[in-house]
């Protein structure tokens, strides 16, 4: 299945809310998308949360890029 859209999420220190977005994406009926997250060097638990999210069996592609400063 090809991805037709990309949901782009730039983030910095948003560990407190990123899981809510993830749950919202998981609840979509159409999973024909990818989620691209660019983390601009967060110093909270954002990376840890994504390490867990990436281990889940997701029905859509997730690309997490952490830009280390």
Determine the 3-state secondary structure of 48 from DSSP.
Answer: helix
User: Which DSSP category does 59 fall into?
Assistant: S
Q: Which helix (H) or strand (E) holds 9?
A: strand 5-11
What is this structure's pTM?
A: 0.89
Q: How confident is the model at residue 68 (pLDDT cuts 50, 70, 90)?
A: confident
Nearest to 40 by CA among 18, 16, 63, 10: 10
Q: How confident is the model at residue 52 (pLDDT cuts 50, 70, 90)?
A: very high
Structure-derived torsion over alpha carbons of residues 39, 64, 17, 31, reported in degrees to the nearest 10: 140
Checking if the pLDDT of 28 tops 70, the result is: yes
Q: At what angle do helices 15-26 and 46-53 cross, to 10 degrees?
A: 20
């Amino acid at each position: 299945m090809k991805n037709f859209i990309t949901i782009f999420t730039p983030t910095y220190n948003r560990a407190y809310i990123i899981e809510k977005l993830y749950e919202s994406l998981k609840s979509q009926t159409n999973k024909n998308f990818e989620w691209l997250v660019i983390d601009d060097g967060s110093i909270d638990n954002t990376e840890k949360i994504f390490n867990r999210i990436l281990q889940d069996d997701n029905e859509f592609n997730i690309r997490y890029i952490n830009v280390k400063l």
